[in-house]
Amino acid sequence: MEECEALCTRLAVMVNGRFQCLGSSQHIKSKFGEGYSLVVKLRAGRGEQQGAVEAKTRALMQFISSTFPTSQLRDQHHGLVQYQIGRASGLTWARLFGTVEKNRSKYDVEDYSVSQSSLEQVFIGFARMQRRAK
């Protein structure tokens, strides 16, 4: 999929012999992607006990769940959480980044990243639609 993004200006997708979409990789990711991926790493102090890190993680998870109702927890371990946040109406890059940045110190966030669904994830979604040949 990386080659498609690097070399192709337009992509076409067919499922079960039927044309599904045509457009740039960005257009296809925006229209058919599952939203955003949010990965947050909490700051862990040197002498901080495991219980304190877990409490901070729970507080952060509660904040994300209440702020972004379409969010789904994908992974959580050692002060690192990963969420898939669905394309809710009105959710933009700016709002997502702004919300995380505004609450960064409150939840002791060391680092975070926000990314869009990859082209590979979009194609996997189309592949799920594919019926098996008989």
Task: Quick: pLDDT tens for 102-120.
Answer: 999 999 999 999 998 889 8
CA atoms within 13 A on the CB side of 1: 14
What pLDDT is stored for residue 132 in this prediction?
A: 55
Mean pLDDT of 42-70: 85
pLDDT of 134 higher than 60: no
CA atoms within 13 A on the CB side of 62: 7
For residue 103, give the 3-state DSSP assignment. Answer: coil
What pLDDT is stored for residue 47 in this prediction?
A: 65
Q: 96: closest CA among 71, 74, 77, 72?
A: 71
Write the Ramachandran bin of 35: left for phi over 0, alpha for psi from -120 to 50, otherwise beta. Answer: left
What pLDDT is stored for residue 99 in this prediction?
A: 93
Q: Where in the chain are the domains?
A: 2-32+119-129, 36-116
Q: Say if domain 36-116 classifies as CATH 3.20.20.20.
A: no
pLDDT confidence bin for 90, thresholds 50/70/90: confident
Burial (CB < 10 A; 0-12, 13-18, 19+), residue 46, is exposed
